[in-house]
A and B are shown apart, each in its own frame.
Chain A
């Protein structure tokens, strides 16, 4: 059972590391989906 709890704790830790790690590496979903300004070509 200790192994199971350790694995659950690691899953939580990985989630936190992934969040801060990806942000630090410059991955941000919002930057890909935002489209603030659009215009038609002349």
Chain B
């Protein structure tokens, strides 16, 4: 279900401009049915264009002229027919290469993908990250560091065991590296080359790609570890509503809504990491093994069958994609979800370090100040205390 929602959002974002404008069928009588200047201009303006007059005009081998007549040796297909067939991936192509994409000689999705990757993706992704940093800066100026309100006890309580911290840092460390190397790959041409030159960037890009491809496995392992270690404690409960109602007490000194081991804010981060991180992992695997894990055509087909595209006023999504188009969708999706997760993680890093006194200790040493724990996870402290009391009351066997 979530994958479906995300896919619709993605399609809506990437194709909104093209769907927004419709183009009436031009009069092609002057060209004998071939494309006109109006067709070419409409295509250049990214307008929706019914080009069946080209895609279905591929000649007819059945009506091939006799070999002694004109065009007979071409089997009923003229050169333009053949080029149109190549253009629409309808030609019968044989290759010595056995790669899945080898028989698709021309596909024009690449230009749309390139325009998106170098335009809207960079612009809006950049705005999202810079906007997040700016918001956190404003929040810090207004609220300052969230201090421990009560008097410190000097006692500590174990918040996370070593295996939990290991899983967290395995995932977190690799995610930071993945984010940085991903940003280098995405923004390098625009920002690194003008600064350092082509030769330097070539080395950086090559290294970034190697690191990005291979450290992704550590991220996926960490993701699985974290999911199984914390999923039960991240199931929403009624206390989360109270926490959300007072904004977690983040905006006001002295407000401390009750929470178990994870509060509602942490649960949002957890499920964002699991769902978005999972989606990034799947699209990343598709990119890691080119053409081997196509998934968008199937997803689009399901969306069409469920009638979701019709519900939101969209035309049916393309249920048949060339292998290259699958890769383009995978890259775009990988980057979009990556940007969203980066923004969430930047906020998580802020609140877990400079934003809140005592928070880093939870993942640093695993031991937190008892007063900090009482203020932010009061119900969890009660549970831990009760458990410890039971254990100490039980006589040794």
Nearest-Cβ distance from residue A4 to partner chain B, whole angstroms: 4
Q: Any chain B CB within 8 A of the CB of A24? A: no
Query: Which residues in window 1-23 of A have CB below 8 A to B?
Result: 1, 3-4, 6-8, 10-12, 14-16, 18-19
Query: Which residues in window 182-232 of B have CB below 8 A to A?
Result: 210-211, 213-219, 221-222
Q: Could you say which of A11, A29, A40 contacts B93, with CB atoms under 8 Å apart?
A: A40
Q: Which residues of B contact A4 (CB under 8 A)?
A: 165, 169, 173, 363-364
Q: Could you say which of A15, A29, A36 contacts B97, with CB atoms under 8 Å apart?
A: A36
In this complex, what residue of A is CB-closest to B210? A19
Q: Could you say which of A12, A18, A40 contacts B94, with CB atoms under 8 Å apart?
A: A40
CA distance A15 to B218 in the complex (A): 7
Q: Which residues of B contact A39 (CB under 8 A)?
A: 94-96
Q: Any chain A CB within 8 A of the CB of B170? A: yes
| Known A14-B221, A32-B99; contact A41-B291, beta-carbon cutoff 8 A | no
CA distance A4 to B364 in the complex (A): 7
In the complex, the answer to whether A29 meets B290 with C-beta atoms within 8 Å is yes
In the complex, the answer to whether A35 meets B94 with C-beta atoms within 8 Å is no
**Majority SS of interface residues in chain A?**
helix
Q: Considering only CB atoms and an 8 Å cut-off, how many residues of chain B contact the other chain?
A: 44
CA distance A10 to B82 in the complex (A): 54
Q: Any chain A CB within 8 A of the CB of B15? A: no
Q: Could you say which of B105, B169, B292 contacts A38, with CB atoms under 8 Å apart?
A: B105
In the complex, the answer to whether B93 meets A14 with C-beta atoms within 8 Å is no
Q: Which residues of A contact B101 (CB under 8 A)?
A: 32-33, 35
In the complex, the answer to whether B364 meets A35 with C-beta atoms within 8 Å is no
Nearest-Cβ distance from residue B289 to partner chain A, whole angstroms: 7
Q: Could you say which of A1, A14, A35, A41 contacts B99, with CB atoms under 8 Å apart?
A: A35
CA distance A29 to B170 in the complex (A): 25
Q: Could you say which of A1, A33, A40 contacts B91, with CB atoms under 8 Å apart?
A: A40
Q: Which residues of B contact A27 (CB under 8 A)?
A: 289
Q: Could you say which of A7, A11, A32, A35 contacts B215, with CB atoms under 8 Å apart?
A: A11
> Could you list 25 A-B pairs, sorted by A, with CB under 8 Å?
A3-B162, A3-B165, A4-B169, A6-B166, A7-B167, A7-B173, A10-B166, A10-B218, A11-B174, A11-B218, A14-B218, A18-B216, A18-B217, A32-B100, A32-B290, A33-B99, A33-B290, A34-B97, A35-B99, A35-B102, A38-B95, A38-B97, A38-B105, A40-B93, A40-B94
- Known pairs A32-B99, A32-B291; list 7 more (Cβ under 8 Å): A3-B165, A4-B363, A11-B173, A14-B221, A15-B214, A15-B218, A41-B94
Residues of A within 8 A of B (CB): 1, 3-4, 6-8, 10-12, 14-16, 18-19, 27, 29, 31-41
3 closest Cβ contacts across the A-B interface?
A: A7-B169, A11-B218, A15-B214
